[in-house]
Amino acid sequence: MKVVSSIIQMRKITRTLAADRKKIGLVPTMGFLHEGHLSLIRRAVRFSDIVIVSIFVNPAQFAPDEDFEAYPRDEKNDINKIKSTGGDIVFIPKVSDIYPDNFQTYVDVEIIAKSLEGKSRPLHFRGVTTIVAKLFNITRPDIAVFGLKDYQQAIVIRQMTRDLGLPIKIIIAPTVREKDGLAMSSRNCYFNPEQRKEAVCLYESLRIAKRAVKDEKIIDSAVLKGRMIKLIQSICPTAEIDYIAFTDFESIIPVKKVNKNTICSLAVKIHGVRLIDNMKMTGRGQLL
Amino acid sequence: MKVVSSIIQMRKITRTLAADRKKIGLVPTMGFLHEGHLSLIRRAVRFSDIVIVSIFVNPAQFAPDEDFEAYPRDEKNDINKIKSTGGDIVFIPKVSDIYPDNFQTYVDVEIIAKSLEGKSRPLHFRGVTTIVAKLFNITRPDIAVFGLKDYQQAIVIRQMTRDLGLPIKIIIAPTVREKDGLAMSSRNCYFNPEQRKEAVCLYESLRIAKRAVKDEKIIDSAVLKGRMIKLIQSICPTAEIDYIAFTDFESIIPVKKVNKNTICSLAVKIHGVRLIDNMKMTGRGQLL
């Protein structure tokens, strides 16, 4: 396995791979890899000849008051995990190479990136689409794999890819959860054991909503939302709910009545740590 | 020579060319080709194995009150000209394929695209960088050629290309002029013969400024600008001057004193037709 930090070198490698007609898979990450990331890598391995995993904690997607500096990093461990999961190349560019002095170009998705996460974190998706476009241009993958946990991000990136004519298939892979149901996230490491227990409230609230749809045939979003808020507060009384939204999976337009394309997503601050999660409100699994 | 309108077909062709390690040159145009465009094509022929010329009148770079509908079109003639100039592929995508329903992604260059043309035409460059990024993604050229007449456009595109990590060399080719000095432009066809004569005032004003720098050692931008305004008004009394700017060639930052990196650019409405032109204020030629 190769570890590459130079953009020029990365480009040379992908140019050669393209000339050899290899199918390239990209898994963009911010490092501090957990089982969720590894499942993305496994999926890329299944669908491509060469798997590139990028590690880049992207300053452009953090607001000044967010945790860019504190974001956990562990490159050495990450490299070992990628190797044992079947990755072929780890691309770890420097911030100063990605954003040189005088950098001033941004890729912006307008409609679907403005609600939910885009409303709470105004420049977040602009940072995400810009870095992903740049990683796409440098590595030129045939497929790229993103996690369903960051569902809106995956939809926004798919839109960007289509709109800008990038010949890349975006694969969305299911959320991997801890034993109690908490969605895996690099930010889970911020909790002490007591706090960690309460973090399960996001998952539990999604479960009771889905169960209410299935067992009680409740499809009114407001009613479901009310139940979710109650449950969250019962598990974590100090939880600060940013949003709970029932939307169409593709368009991210809010729906009043749950239907087969409805996904519920939420963002909640648990003891100072902002977590997100989501679940389709019908069907068995979470797979897309 | 091939004429391609399907994005999928264009992509297949460029994929094959890349696998064959051919060097691809792209000349993006809005059609209605004149000698200026043909000089760009010749330059692309010189620096690449396969030359693609795109023809696309891009609605996203016209404001609602501008001349998108009226913009002159003559595809048949364009195709013949491209063929006889050595182009290999003409790419003529449909507006509905480039901007399908639900299109919502834009590429925006922030600083250098906000002055001069960007100030007078607020969404113009966003339209330009978005379409050029998309054409780059579809055709994946190694080089792309733009004309110096649209100098700020060329600089903005070069910035976008660098910032987004596109492995494409941007070549800026000198302005081609009519016998009297008027910069060639598809919009020159809007004039009647009387109006056409007055249109030379842009070029003449640049010439007297450059001569004042050379012969009289005048380097004060305000003084030069005053002389240019006078000259324009003497040739075309009804001229509406949008801007006359002395700026650094690369950064597009205004300069008070002309130096060797200074370019003077201007936009003037002549009998309802908005023309632009520019000239470096020192050195012999206009070549970059």
Give the model confidence (pLDDT) of A96-116 as tens digits: 999 999 999 999 999 999 999
Nearest CA in chain A to B20: A19
Percent of chain A with pLDDT over 70: 99
**Can you say how many angstroms the Cα of residue A29 is from the centroid of all Cα atoms in its chain?**
9
* B205: pLDDT strictly greater than 70: yes
| Residues of A carrying an active site annotation | 37
Q: Would you place residue A288 in the very low, low, confident or very high pLDDT band (cuts 50, 70, 90)?
A: very low
Contact with chain A for residue B287, Cβ under 8 A: no
Per-residue pLDDT of B139-194, as tens digits, reads 999 999 999 999 999 999 999 999 999 999 999 999 999 999 999 999 999 999 99
Give residues 45 to 74 of B whose Cβ lies within 8 Å of A: none
CA distance B250 to chain A (A): 11
B104/A134 Cβ within 8 A: no
% pLDDT > 70, chain B: 99
How close does chain A come to B15, measured CA to CA in Å?
9
Q: Quickly count: other Cβ atoms within 10 Å of residue A21's Cβ.
A: 11
Which of B24, B97, B164 to mutate to test binding with chain A, by most A CBs within 10 Å of its CB?
B164
Which is the CATH superfamily of the domain at B186-279? Answer: Pantoate-beta-alanine ligase, C-terminal domain (3.30.1300.10)
Q: What is the mean pLDDT of residues B124-134?
A: 98
Residue pairs between chains A and B whose CB atoms are closer than 8 Å? 83
Give the pLDDT score at A19: 87
| Structure ipTM over 0.90, yes or no | yes
Residue A228 has pLDDT above 60, yes or no: yes
Q: Which of A104, A161, A170 to mutate to test the interface with B (most CBs of B within 10 A)?
A: A104
pLDDT tens figures, A168-192: 999 999 999 999 999 999 999 999 9
Sequential DSSP letters for A244-268: EEEEETTT--B-SB--TTEEEEEEE
Residue B165: per-residue pLDDT: 97
Cβ atoms of residues B152 and B267 within 8 Å? no
Q: In whole angstroms, give the CA distance from residue A235 to residue B233.
A: 77
Q: Which contiguous run of DSSP H or E holds residue A276?
A: strand A273-280
CA distance B152 to B253: 11
For the domain A2-173, what is the CATH code? 3.40.50.620
- Sequence spans of domains, chain B: 2-173, 186-279
- Chain B contact for A112 (CB, 8 A cutoff): yes
C-alpha to C-alpha distance for B155 and B170, rounded to whole angstroms? 9
Burial of residue B96 (number of CB atoms within 10 Å: 0-12, 13-18, 19+): exposed
